[in-house]
Chains A and B, each alone.
Chain A
């Protein structure tokens, strides 16, 4: 005759009370497990949705970036460098600068740490009257590209004009009636016509290019230039705006003017698309979080409510069980069974009841939560093992017996402490 035999026999004998107790624990456990399963499903689904959205967004942005990159790679980012005191408006109107700056500036910039510039051409340009032909012309002195310390020499952008030679724009060549190989006089000095450019339809057609040094002599500006062109600048779009400032930091006597590439518009569009995607993502996330919070809030309301109802129900069942067993308790106590052992009988019963109720409740709650999330998340049901939570199961398997034990503790304790004779008489 062992304690466990007695407990099991009693359970079978008072099946209804025991089954109702199991159901009470199961109800609380099912509620908890159902809510937790639903929340877990929601969390998993949120993760999935967000990951999917993120991937979509990333893919779209990647495509856009690729497009923009292709476009920007084909562009030349040119920078015009002028003397600091040059009025920009005048420069833009006249196509050349009145203010000049030392030619060494070009060398200094070439030796600097700036890597964005691929080609650097110093020049001295001035509008003059071509006295020999009695007409205005643009005289430009060029000397070829400045070597750049950090950039490998590239194919020069423009062929330099050798000393004693001139390259003429179409209009000027026609005016003077010369062709390549001929000779022409400019400001009293004779030049060999090295080249005549095809018509370009712009200021180039009225420009004569000579060697920089000869231009300096003709224009009486020895050692001076009035512009440098930095061409084919390469850098990220984001850094582009910083380059003029960098140049001005290297050469405090200059101002740098950036030809902003049209890719800027696309960059802005890209940035806006990126922002919008991020915002959409954040909104989706917020939406999922809000649903999650609503689920949590309702769980926080329902679970304790059902838990409390179960506890009351259990307490009632435990009370009626103890009441029905007063005679038994009296018999056992009269036979010399200690009160602590009588209490242990009730606790053992509560433990069995709680474990059974917890397991049953977890199974029911899990199934319900699984089904519910499948229905709620647009028919997408997760594999059951992904939603299964050992922690939750452990919680209800521990919580069920605890709840049942708490519910029967007081009535059992009170009965175990009563006089056996009183208990025996109560049912007699």
Chain B
């Protein structure tokens, strides 16, 4: 589903060049669940954005469903994202003037799905924010926002799920709900890439990719 080869990405800041990714390669098949771990600033978000067809790497290649999205034009790449990728941002990035339900339904602006409202309500129920459906993001707790962002990413059942710290602000019980959902999706055939600091959760992932200064430290496979 996802193949990443020798990804590098550098940023030029005021203090000179920052190498966010310095040669990362891995593959993720349908049904795989990979946890990405690393210190703050180790390049996790950068990796996710590059895998999500959102940020072009300096070198290396990203192949999703057999296609390199960076070979596409910007408009086609957007359509490609809509079709294949569900992204959960570290900062949630909810649209402030839309309700929770409307935020979850926002991918409809890019895609048509007739069953979407029912699916959206189902997701809200699964993440226990159904009674927040009519609230605005600023009326939500951080954890509720996080779950809203996750529900939005899952609306159209993407084949590749990229979640940047989806459980960072959740209590253990809610974190488990989220993790179970992601694992369930993986079981249903999605490829899941999840950034987490939580070793407890990482331990539940099938594989772990540890990043250090933009390089993989080790990729450990957990046996279940």
Contacts and interface: CB of A to CB of B under 8 A. Distances in A.
Contacts of A340: 75
Instruction: Classify chain B's interface size.
Output: 20 to 34
A417 B97 contact: no
Interface string B2-17: 0000000000000000
Interface stretch (B22-30, B77-85, B124-132, B195-203): B77-85
Contacts of A9: 97-98, 102
Contact of B54 (A13, A334, A341): A334
A47 B151 CA distance: 70
Contacts of B115: none
Contacts, number: 84
A333 B89 CA distance: 13
Nearest to B111: A336
A420 B54 contact: yes
Contacts of B79: 336, 338
Interface centre among B56, B102, B110 (most CB of A within 10 A): B110
Contacts of B56: 419
B95 A334 contact: no
Nearest to B107: A335
Contact of A421 (B55, B78, B107): B55
Given A421-B54, A428-B91, A336 B98 contact: no
Interface string B63-82: 00000000000110011111
Interface stretch (A249-257, A324-332, A370-378): A324-332
B82 A337 contact: yes
A1 interface: yes
B52 A13 contact: no
A428 B56 CA distance: 19
B108 interface: yes
Contact of A419 (B54, B75, B106): B54
B223 interface: no
B109 A334 contact: no
B179 interface: no
B96 interface: yes
A5 interface: yes
Contacts of B93: 327, 330-331, 334, 424
Nearest to A3: B109
Contacts of B110: 332, 335-338, 341
Contacts of A341: 109-110
B40 to A, nearest CB: 14
B206 interface: no
Nearest to A327: B93
Interface of B: 49, 52, 54-56, 74-75, 78-83, 85, 87, 89, 91, 93-98, 102, 105-111, 116, 152
Interface of A: 1-3, 5-6, 9-10, 12-14, 327-328, 330-341, 417, 419-421, 424, 428
7 closest A-B pairs by beta carbon, nearest first, are A336-B82, A13-B97, A1-B105, A336-B110, A421-B55, A336-B81, A337-B110
